[in-house]
Structure 1
Amino acid sequence: MLSPADLVTIPFDDWMNGFVRGWLVPNFRPFFRAAQVPISTVLNMLNAFMLWVPMMASTLAFALAAWRWAGKGTAIFTVLGFAFIDMIGYWPETMTTLAMIVTSVLFCAVIGIPLGILAARSDLAWRAIRPVLDIMQTIPSFVYLVPIVMLFGVGMTPGIIATIIFAIPPIVRLTNLGIRGVRHDLIEAAQSFGSTRWQMLWDLQLPLAMRTILAGLNQTLMLALSMVVIAALIGAGGLGLVVNTGLGRLNVGEATSGGVGIVILAIVLDRITQGLGEKGFGPQPSLMRTLAGFFRAAPRPGGANPG
């Protein structure tokens, strides 16, 4: 029985090679090289700073953050975990990995939150963005590395770019979901008070959607951590390089040590960001307080004002 391949063979791989090697790389590589500058600048500054800060000071800062947003148990785990990483000799690699993660998440937030806001405010924009996010989330992570190397070269900065592409979809999706989930009666009340679109976004929609946005940030951070390890294959450093080097040499101890360091760092960052989402940052903005007072003072249907 005939199959479509017996009749027509599509040289898709040749088309892609011709597109990337024959047109995209020769014409746009200078642009992609220039696009690395802000990422490499932030990464180098963070990496230098985190390596400069003494181990005890960094541990204290993370322990206090864990105590504030994740509880006493996480703070104790942070102290013990970071002390263990230092004692097995991988503290500098851990700080390099942390610098890569913070850089990736920072750029994911700077790009992803505005995209999520745009998607929430425009159905047309969401229909255009959604298929791109689907592709970014379903393509295997290793597939990103080949075009990244061709366009950006090898090193830590190309690894960060691959990480940003891989990790940005959750924060875009959950920002869109959080803003779309704001109650319509609150939006109508804000409009009746004469609030502009910017005031409603800044003082009403973003604060109410903050838990959902921070959940997206948490998922972006976890994806960034996993991709930073894979990015060691194209020259990124940190604990990912330790794991890959150990695997390449069949050194079980080295690979396991790097993996344990990644697990400890992932648990600490995950618990802190989850705590941020659950406990928030502080008092509500003025518009939200005004609307809260308005709805408390409004008479209930079928009854008198309880106040």
Structure 2
Amino acid sequence: MADSWLSKFPKMDRADLLEIRKSLDGAFRDFSREYGDEIESFFSPLLDFLIWFEKLLVQSPWWAVLIVITAMVYLASRSWKLSLGVVVSFLLIGYFGMWEDTMRTLSIITVCTLLAIILGVPIGIFMARSDRTQSAVTPILDVMQTMPAFVYLIPVVMLLGIGKVPGVIAVVIYAIPPVIRLTNLGIRLVDKEVLEAATAYGANKMQRLLGVQLPLAAPTIMAGINQTIMMALGMVVIASMIGVKGLGQPVLKSITNQYFTLGLFNGLAIVALAIIFDRASQAYAKRSQKHLQDGHNV
């Protein structure tokens, strides 16, 4: 029964399939050889910024970095318990000799998150404003979220080799879909009556976007940023395969050499960063939402 059903479709010869694959591989190789230098020079400012930011975190006194991180977490969360947890976590990270790797990971995650926000929020805004754009971008996001993470490494390595920039590009591509989706969703969920009231007061499209839609959608957008950070941290170990230094490289080394404690401690350091980012961003989102609700009640 199955054979008769399959026989209705034209069979592709294995040689034809192999030829198609060879053609695609050859075209991509030719593209990388032709434009690889231009692409590399385009990303050179990003590489310079990454190197500068990493040196800033690694070479600064540990106590100064700890004070700044703790202050930022407290300003975001207004929680002294979370701030105390940050201090304890980073002191333990330093005690177990993982400070430099943690700072390198922190620099990569920070830059990747900023890039994801800069690129993702405008795309989400365009999707919210146009159903046609949403229908075109949504399948691309579906593919990006279901594609195995290792696959992202192949094209960036072929184009740019190994190093920081290919790792950042792979992490951003892997982690950007949530912030795009939730920016689109947050803006679409804004009450139409509120927008009509803003229009009645004479607000134009840009004023409605900046003064009404984005502030009301901020909690949803923050949830997307939170998910993006979590996905970026999850990509750190995979990105270490193409030369991204940080906590991922010791984990990779522990896998290949069966060093249980090395992998465990560095894995726990990644978990600590994830929890800190997660709690701080969630607390900030809740505070901003409460502030908006109090403003509406007034």
TM-score, with structure 2 as normaliser: 0.90
**Alpha-carbon distance between aligned partners in 2 of 1:110 and 1:183, rounded to the nearest angstrom:** 25
Matching residue of 1:230: 238
In the alignment, structure 1 residue 212 sits paired with structure 2 residue 220: yes
Following superposition, the deviation at residue 279 of structure 1 comes to 1.0
Following superposition, the deviation at residue 38 of structure 1 comes to 3.2
In the alignment, structure 1 residue 258 sits paired with structure 2 residue 266: yes
In the alignment, structure 1 residue 8 sits paired with structure 2 residue 15: no
What percentage of residue pairs aligned between the two structures are identical? Answer: 35
In the alignment, structure 1 residue 280 sits paired with structure 2 residue 288: yes
- Of 218, 225, 229, the match for 1:221: 229
CA contact (8 A) 1:149 1:234 kept: yes
Q: Which deviates more from structure 2 when the two are superposed, residues 85-94 or residues 126-135?
A: 126-135
In the alignment, structure 1 residue 124 sits paired with structure 2 residue 128: no
Following superposition, the deviation at residue 123 of structure 1 comes to 1.1
| Cα displacement string for residues 65-109 of structure 1 (whole angstroms, at most 9, x for unaligned residues) | 333444232222211111110001010110000000001001111
**Alpha-carbon distance between aligned partners in 2 of 1:188 and 1:65, rounded to the nearest angstrom:** 37
1:60-75 alignment runs, 5 A limit: 60-70=67-77, 71-75=79-83
Following superposition, the deviation at residue 185 of structure 1 comes to 0.4
| Cα displacement string for residues 30-68 of structure 1 (whole angstroms, at most 9, x for unaligned residues) | 332123223213212221111132222222233333334
| Cα displacement string for residues 91-131 of structure 1 (whole angstroms, at most 9, x for unaligned residues) | 01100000000010011111000101111111111111111
Residue identity in the other structure for 2:228 = T
- How many corresponding residue pairs? 288
Following superposition, the deviation at residue 16 of structure 1 comes to 3.1
**Alpha-carbon distance between aligned partners in 2 of 1:276 and 1:16, rounded to the nearest angstrom:** 46
CA contact (8 A) 1:218 1:274 kept: yes
Following superposition, the deviation at residue 21 of structure 1 comes to 1.6
**Alpha-carbon distance between aligned partners in 1 of 2:217 and 2:209, rounded to the nearest angstrom:** 10
CA RMSD of aligned residues (A): 2.2
**Alpha-carbon distance between aligned partners in 1 of 2:38 and 2:240, rounded to the nearest angstrom:** 24
Q: Which deviates more from structure 2 when the two are superposed, residues 246-255 or residues 225-234?
A: 246-255
**Alpha-carbon distance between aligned partners in 2 of 1:245 and 1:209, rounded to the nearest angstrom:** 42
In the alignment, structure 1 residue 155 sits paired with structure 2 residue 159: no
Matching residue of 1:29: 36
**Alpha-carbon distance between aligned partners in 1 of 2:170 and 2:218, rounded to the nearest angstrom:** 26
Residue segments in structure 2 that go unaligned for 5+ positions in a row: none
**Alpha-carbon distance between aligned partners in 1 of 2:139 and 2:173, rounded to the nearest angstrom:** 14
Matching residue of 2:251: 243
CA contact (8 A) 1:160 1:228 kept: no
Residue segments in structure 1 that go unaligned for 5+ positions in a row: 297-307
**Alpha-carbon distance between aligned partners in 2 of 1:13 and 1:84, rounded to the nearest angstrom:** 50
- Of 61, 64, 68, the match for 1:57: 64
**Alpha-carbon distance between aligned partners in 1 of 2:24 and 2:185, rounded to the nearest angstrom:** 34
Following superposition, the deviation at residue 283 of structure 1 comes to 6.7
Following superposition, the deviation at residue 15 of structure 1 comes to 4.1
Q: Which stretches of structure 1, 4 residues or longer, exceed 6 Å deviation after superposition?
A: 281-284
CA contact (8 A) 1:66 1:72 kept: no
Matching residue of 2:49: 42
**Alpha-carbon distance between aligned partners in 1 of 2:190 and 2:290, rounded to the nearest angstrom:** 19
In the alignment, structure 1 residue 199 sits paired with structure 2 residue 216: no
**Alpha-carbon distance between aligned partners in 1 of 2:24 and 2:261, rounded to the nearest angstrom:** 41
